[in-house]
Homo-oligomer: A and B are copies of this chain.
Amino acid sequence: MDDHKIRVATWFESLRDSICKAFEALEDSHRGALADRPPGRFEKTRWQREDADGGDGGGGEMSIMRGRVFEKVGVNISTVYGRFKEPFNKQIPGAELDPHFWASGISLVAHMQSPLVPAVHMNTRMIVTTKAWFGGGADMTPTFPREDDTKAFHAAFKAACDAHDPGYYPRFRKWCDEYFFLPHRGEARGIGGIFFDYLDSGDWEEDFAFIRDVGRAFLDVYPRIVRRHMDKPWSAEEREALLQKRGRYVEFNLLYDRGTKFGLMTGGNTEAILMSLPPEAKWP
């Protein structure tokens, strides 16, 4: 298991590096609105998990960029371990009797300057209790959905899924649609993507290969979609619609998102968890 943990944490770190490089390249090549500003650069902040009584530890690294294409994008990696406290251990497979856990993951949310460029979220993680599994997903939130972007986003994750199990894509896409939904608005958060949890096929190498393909699919498709639209001019009305769409994003993350709630309730790093919130939002 130690070898698995090291390989997983190393992959998340290298994926983080690739994503940050790709996003900075988009900042460099930007020729649209706000191009008079300097291209954005990621700033990294390390944090350590507090170790009140010796049994918990680990930490992570937040990378945040405030740029001229990416209004605010956070890419977090973390590797933490310890014991789930009552009553949270009851909700975690394999932690009911022995609360020890280890978890490593990458989590990303991008809020864009242009209302014509979709916001996006991606995360993948491995959790170890007395069981071990992978989870993750990616979903896109355009203010003005476009058929070609939606198709490209879904096609990328379908290909990543299909290379591993033909049952994955239909199941994980449906799970995503059900998860990223605001019942009080009767609205989806965006155009969907994939969402999965408790993934343990019995073949760890195969599951880890799938997790890597999900990361690579994101790294391929999202920058392509950004590049299509980032140089286009937008109107004040379109920007206003973006800010209101972001209000819904805030509602979802604070009312329903399991990761956000679980992280805050279990004493996670507040700044890292709430990095998903948009830089500006409106409820007019």
Whether A274 sits at the interface, judged by CB under 8 Å, is yes
Q: Which chain B residue has the least Cβ–Cβ distance from A268?
A: B184
State which residues 80-108 of A face B: CB under 8 Å: none
Interface code A5-28, partner B: CB below 8 Å = 1, 0 otherwise? Answer: 000000000000000000000000
Whether A132 sits at the interface, judged by CB under 8 Å, is no
A265 shortest CB reach to chain B, Å? 8
B281–A281 touching, CB < 8 Å: yes
Whether A264 sits at the interface, judged by CB under 8 Å, is yes
CB contact under 8 A between A184 and B250, given known A279-B283, A283-B274: no
Q: Which chain B residue has the least Cβ–Cβ distance from A254?
A: B254
Whether A247 sits at the interface, judged by CB under 8 Å, is yes
Taken together as a complex, chains A and B put the C-alpha atoms of A185 and B277 apart, in Å, by 15
Taken together as a complex, chains A and B put the C-alpha atoms of A284 and B178 apart, in Å, by 30
Whether A201 sits at the interface, judged by CB under 8 Å, is no
Please indicate the chain B residues that have their CB under 8 angstroms from the CB of A235 in the complex: none
A277–B247 touching, CB < 8 Å: yes
Please indicate the chain B residues that have their CB under 8 angstroms from the CB of A270 in the complex: 184-185
Please indicate the chain B residues that have their CB under 8 angstroms from the CB of A251 in the complex: 254, 274
Measured as residues with beta carbon below 8 angstroms from the partner, the interface class of chain A is 20 to 34
**Cross-interface CB contact of A279 among B72, B264, B282, cutoff 8 Å:** B282
Taken together as a complex, chains A and B put the C-alpha atoms of A273 and B255 apart, in Å, by 13
Interface code A45-82, partner B: CB below 8 Å = 1, 0 otherwise? Answer: 00000000000000000000010000010000000000
Whether A261 sits at the interface, judged by CB under 8 Å, is yes
Taken together as a complex, chains A and B put the C-alpha atoms of A185 and B283 apart, in Å, by 23
Q: Which chain B residue has the least Cβ–Cβ distance from A267?
A: B184
Please indicate the chain B residues that have their CB under 8 angstroms from the CB of A200 in the complex: none
Whether A136 sits at the interface, judged by CB under 8 Å, is no
CB contact under 8 A between A264 and B274, given known A72-B284, A250-B250, A281-B281: no
Q: Which chain B residue has the least Cβ–Cβ distance from A273?
A: B184
Whether A162 sits at the interface, judged by CB under 8 Å, is no
Whether A278 sits at the interface, judged by CB under 8 Å, is yes
Whether A280 sits at the interface, judged by CB under 8 Å, is yes
Please indicate the chain B residues that have their CB under 8 angstroms from the CB of A279 in the complex: 282-284
A-B contact pairs, 21 of them (CB 8 A): A183-B264, A184-B264, A184-B270, A184-B273, A247-B277, A250-B250, A250-B254, A250-B281, A251-B254, A254-B255, A255-B261, A277-B283, A278-B283, A279-B283, A279-B284, A280-B281, A280-B282, A280-B283, A280-B284, A281-B281, A281-B283
